[in-house]
Amino acid sequence: MNKNPKNKMTIDDLAVLIKNEFDRVSERFEQIDQRLDRMDQRIQSIESKINDISHELNLIHREIAEIKIRLDRLEKNFNNRNKEVNILSRARPKTPF
């Protein structure tokens, strides 16, 4: 059996290789954690903006409902006045001109 001493790896060499790989994996996980933290912050910001928009839409919806109520009241008043005008115009005697 011919063993080449140049290719011989010791336990210490193997331990160093494994440690280096664990360090690289650890560094990569740290980078991923940082990206996830940034994504979480962005998601929280987006959620906050969506909540603000939702609140504004609710206010707009209420205002539109109030305007609709007022418009319905105005239409009803207009129709009542129009009926009164029609009644008065029929009741007034026509002049021969």
> For residue 80, how many other CB atoms are within 10 A of its CB?
10
Mean pLDDT for the stretch of residues 5-32: 92
- Residue 7 three-state SS: helix
Helices (H), the chain: 11-91
Task: Compute the half-sphere exposure of residue 44: CA atoms within 13 Å on the CB side of its CA.
Answer: 6
Return the pLDDT at 1: 44
| 6 pLDDT higher than 90 | no
Tell me the backbone φ, ψ of residue 10, rounded to 5 degrees: -90, 170
With 0-12 / 13-18 / 19 or more C-beta atoms within 10 angstroms meaning exposed / middle / buried, residue 71 is: exposed
Q: Encode pLDDT of 34-88 as tens digits.
A: 999 999 999 999 999 999 999 999 999 999 999 999 999 999 999 988 888 888 7
| 26 pLDDT higher than 50 | yes
Return the pLDDT at 9: 87
Return the pLDDT at 93: 67
